[in-house]
Chains A and B, each alone.
Chain A
Amino acid sequence: MKKSDSNDRYEIRLSGSGGQGLVLAGVMLAEAVGVYEGKNVAQTQSYGPEARGGSSRSDITISTGEIYYPKTSKLDLLLCLTQDSCDKYYHNLKEDGVLIIDSDIVRQPPPLKTVYALPFTHISKERLGTSIVTNVVSTAASVVISGVCGRESFLKAVLGRVPKGTEQKNEAACKLGFELGQKALKGEL
């Protein structure tokens, strides 16, 4: 691995409200990049004292070099699953950063250059019968849109972290997310 400084630093934030599973999604993404693709990664989080509700976010910093400052400062990619988190964090994006939002929930997207508005919650319910996997669906779509790691690596990381008995549902959620991401890149969504 190149031991240079942090020129290739890539910063991601997954944000929404507490209980949506975004910290876990961040851990899975960090594992995909760090364990299965051999890059350096630092994953941090910020959440309130409540178990559900309140704002919640998971930040992932990726680099082939050493990561000293572990938090994010200028985001390359921001995923928002609530209007609140979008309002709060969109100004942390770099000028050419990518914003991904749940189009069912974030009704007022900020006027940015690159916004992907995808119906994560709606389509999860429709195709998988539950919105509980929206964290995996939306993060999988973010993986494809950003190209931050391979699909296989992310799928492996997800299956290694989810509770026993939910593997099938989560694998389906990953694939749905990959499909949404692919369609978004092609401008079909």
Chain B
Amino acid sequence: MTETNNRKLLQGNQATALGALAAGCRFFAGYPITPSTEIAETMALELPKVGGRFIQMEDEIASISAIIGASVAGAKSMTATSGPGFSLMQEGLGYAYMAEVPCVTVNVMRGGPSTGLPTKVAQADVMQAKWGTHGDYFPIVLCPSSVKDCFDITVKAFNLAEKYRNPVIVLSDEVIGHMREIVVLPDPSTLQLIERKKPNVPPEWYKHFQITADFTSPMASFGQGYRFHLTGLTHDERGFPTSNSETIAAKLDKLKLKIERHVDDIVECRQYQCEDANIVLFAYGSVARAARQAVIESRKKRLRVGLFQPVTLWPFPEEQLRRMTQKAKLVIVAELNQGQMIGDVRRVCKDKIRVIGLNRYDGELITPEQILNLIKEDH
């Protein structure tokens, strides 16, 4: 029973914090809010032990600003919040997209709008994660559905942030964040970690926003002798504000193409028994757990039901969804909101496949029975 020794009962939020630490996160700034607070608590306990810094800021605007600053100074950095705090962070996130600052923001979703339901689950910030701040920008948004996922996906979030010099959002939810499960965590030394590209040119040649073949520029840290200018204003390769239309378009293309050209690398999906499915369930986060159970129950009744579970919500996994719905006549989009991801599912399925929503927004998780009943009604 040596395995028993490595078995740990962990909460999703704890696993998120441990994943961040394993990924090399050494700076956390945040403001406590249910249901994300355990992430801050764990970081406050653990960061000092590895030479990192934890700071509780006066609010969420200050928190996102602090992690941007820490990242520009060279540290992998993270903040964690829930809906109301995520709203406040949108301004800072916009700056991070524009200034191409790698950082990780965890939003453990609860009911909204406004202060909504502090202790109850929802998935209603999915569109906010994509469109929350103004302008054209391309978020990477990942969504865990188990305690183990919280660890793995946070590691992945840091890797993608570093690789693409982009903010990455981890959209957890109250059920996943507060749930405890048995996990066996990997030895941190076995993890594949990605570090941001560093400049290999002399400081006087350095351009902080150089347009490269893969559209991601090498990033020097403040204080290393490489001089650069950072601003939220649209800027040239050196970081200085510009009103030159060619330079403006080139900057916005860069923001788009560094993500769009690497969608295959960024997008992760899971599918269960979709190959022959004429009914495909589309579900993510905690709802994917209910949907997986519903697939098992349906198969016992010889119904050809499958589950498509996006781990990457944005960029939207278009190709993968298209492939997994080839035999489908019906797609059921089950989500804890009044219908958010369903718009993109409809866009991909066009008129060829019927798409219906199963929506719950009363603070409770969708049950397998609800999904099974909907399948039965439709048959």
A→B interface (CB under 8 Å)? 5-6, 27, 30-31, 34-36, 38, 40-49, 67-71, 73
Nearest-neighbour CB distance to chain B for A3, whole angstroms, equals 12
Closest residue of B by beta carbon distance from A54: B119
Between-chain CB contacts (< 8 Å), 28 pairs: A5-B296, A6-B293, A27-B9, A27-B180, A30-B180, A34-B9, A34-B181, A34-B182, A35-B182, A38-B4, A41-B9, A43-B179, A43-B180, A44-B175, A44-B179, A44-B180, A47-B119, A48-B119, A49-B34, A68-B292, A68-B368, A69-B293, A69-B368, A70-B175, A70-B181, A70-B286, A73-B368, A73-B369
* Residue contact B179 to A70, C-beta cutoff 8 Å: yes
Closest residue of B by beta carbon distance from A28: B9
Q: Which residues of A contact B365 (CB under 8 A)?
A: 71
* Residue contact B34 to A68, C-beta cutoff 8 Å: no
Given the interface pairs A34-B182, A35-B7, A41-B182, the reply to whether A69 lies near B1 with Cβ below 8 Å is: no
Q: Does B290 contact A (CB under 8 A)?
A: yes
We find that the number of chain B residues with CB closer than 8 angstroms to chain A is 25
Nearest-neighbour CB distance to chain A for B26, whole angstroms, equals 29
Q: Does B130 contact A (CB under 8 A)?
A: no
Nearest-neighbour CB distance to chain A for B195, whole angstroms, equals 35
Nearest-neighbour CB distance to chain A for B111, whole angstroms, equals 11
* Residue contact A71 to B180, C-beta cutoff 8 Å: no
Given the interface pairs A47-B119, A68-B296, A70-B289, the reply to whether A35 lies near B8 with Cβ below 8 Å is: yes
Which 7 pairs, one residue from A and one from B, show the smallest C-beta to C-beta distance? A68-B293, A69-B293, A34-B182, A43-B180, A68-B292, A31-B9, A49-B118
Looking at A35, A69, A73, the one whose CB has the most chain B CB atoms below 10 A away is A69
Alpha-carbon distance A161/B310, docked complex (angstroms): 36
Nearest-neighbour CB distance to chain B for A124, whole angstroms, equals 26
* Residue contact B9 to A68, C-beta cutoff 8 Å: no
* Residue contact B296 to A30, C-beta cutoff 8 Å: no
* Residue contact B9 to A35, C-beta cutoff 8 Å: yes
* Residue contact B182 to A69, C-beta cutoff 8 Å: no
Q: Does B367 contact A (CB under 8 A)?
A: yes
Nearest-neighbour CB distance to chain A for B117, whole angstroms, equals 9
Given the interface pairs A36-B4, A49-B118, the reply to whether A71 lies near B367 with Cβ below 8 Å is: yes
Given the interface pairs A48-B119, A49-B34, A71-B367, the reply to whether A42 lies near B180 with Cβ below 8 Å is: yes
Closest residue of A by beta carbon distance from B146: A70
Q: Which residues of B contact A44 (CB under 8 A)?
A: 175, 178-180
Alpha-carbon distance A69/B288, docked complex (angstroms): 9
* Residue contact A68 to B8, C-beta cutoff 8 Å: no
Alpha-carbon distance A68/B264, docked complex (angstroms): 28
Nearest-neighbour CB distance to chain A for B273, whole angstroms, equals 13
Looking at B9, B289, B296, the one whose CB has the most chain A CB atoms below 10 A away is B9
What 1/0 mask marks residues of chain B from 28 to 41 whose CB sits below 8 Å from any chain A CB?
A: 00000010000000
Q: Which residues of B contact A46 (CB under 8 A)?
A: 119
Q: Which residues of A contact B34 (CB under 8 A)?
A: 49
Q: Which residues of B contact A35 (CB under 8 A)?
A: 4, 7-9, 182
Nearest-neighbour CB distance to chain A for B100, whole angstroms, equals 38
Alpha-carbon distance A70/B8, docked complex (angstroms): 17
Q: Which residues of B contact A41 (CB under 8 A)?
A: 9, 180-182
Closest residue of B by beta carbon distance from A161: B9
What 1/0 mask marks residues of chain B from 6 to 18 whose CB sits below 8 Å from any chain A CB?
A: 0111000000000
Q: Which residues of B contact A70 (CB under 8 A)?
A: 175, 179, 181, 286, 289
Query: Beyond A68-B290, A69-B289: 11 further Cβ-contacts under 8 Å?
Result: A30-B9, A35-B182, A36-B4, A38-B4, A47-B119, A68-B292, A69-B367, A70-B181, A70-B286, A70-B289, A73-B369
Alpha-carbon distance A8/B344, docked complex (angstroms): 39
Nearest-neighbour CB distance to chain B for A72, whole angstroms, equals 10
Nearest-neighbour CB distance to chain A for B158, whole angstroms, equals 26
Alpha-carbon distance A45/B175, docked complex (angstroms): 8
Given the interface pairs A27-B9, A68-B289, A70-B289, the reply to whether A42 lies near B181 with Cβ below 8 Å is: yes
What 1/0 mask marks residues of chain B from 340 to 373 whose CB sits below 8 Å from any chain A CB?
A: 0000000000000000000000000101110000
